[in-house]
Amino acid sequence: MTAVIEKRVTALPCAEKVNTAVVTETVTAAVQLDKTVAVVVAGTQGPVGPRGQPGPAGGSAFIRIAGEPISALRAVYELPSGAVHPLSADDAEHIDLLAGITITSASAGQEITVQRAGPLDASGLNLQPGRVWLGTDGALTQTPPESGFDTLLGYATAEQRLYIDISETIQLEQ
């Protein structure tokens, strides 16, 4: 094997038997592998990749299909079909299907983003620091329910920040 290095470069290990290598500059190298010649060039920046999943890192936000028109910042339940609908604190049929809180809005049949956990910053929250419960028609409320189900969705640390930390639902006495 013969190698001529004209400029200082960092060589990477190669599994192939190399007969000769000529480095003409720090970004280009010509390498002969037996009878095959490969030219290695430092690449340029490629195109922008596809957009990642919405929401915070860690996969706590996901996309579903709105089963009806739904606004952002509503607690929703998910049906087996993947369709989501607003959930109310008195909805005994769907209370155990709570999926999370919408962070986008959508018309029926369109994609909607739902967040299950973690910090949620949104200008429309208008909360006081303290606990946040499930209200009527998916509304977020800071008044605990007096009937139906007590579902603590998380806690606000500022007017525009909610930490989603969904607790086990408690059925209230009738």
Q: Round to whole Å and give the CA distance between 126 and 144.
A: 17
- Quote the pLDDT of residue 127: 96
Strand partners, 100: 76
Residue 12, SS3?
coil
- For residue 26, give every residue at least 6 positions away whose Cβ sits within 8 Å of its Cβ, in sequence order, or none: 7, 8, 9, 42
Question: Who wins on pLDDT, 91 or 36?
Answer: 91
Reported as a pLDDT band with limits 50, 70 and 90, residue 35 is low
- Quote the pLDDT of residue 116: 94
Nearest to 29 by CA among 11, 53, 49, 56: 11
Nearest to 113 by CA among 87, 84, 86: 84
Question: Who wins on pLDDT, 83 or 57?
Answer: 83
Reported as a pLDDT band with limits 50, 70 and 90, residue 27 is very low
Q: What is the mean pLDDT of residues 122-128?
A: 93
Nearest to 151 by CA among 105, 92, 102, 104: 92
Q: What is the mean pLDDT of residues 151-166?
A: 96
Nearest to 109 by CA among 73, 138, 80, 70: 70
Would the pTM count as exceeding 0.75? no
Mean confidence (pLDDT) of the chain: 83
Q: Residue 2 has which token pair?
A: 């013969």
Model confidence at 30: pLDDT above 80: no
Q: Round to whole Å and give the CA distance between 156 and 140.
A: 11
Q: Residue 53 has which token pair?
A: 């999943």
Report yes or no: 88 and 137 within 8 Å, Cβ to Cβ: yes
Nearest to 148 by CA among 89, 62, 63: 89
- Quote the pLDDT of residue 109: 97
- Quote the pLDDT of residue 24: 45
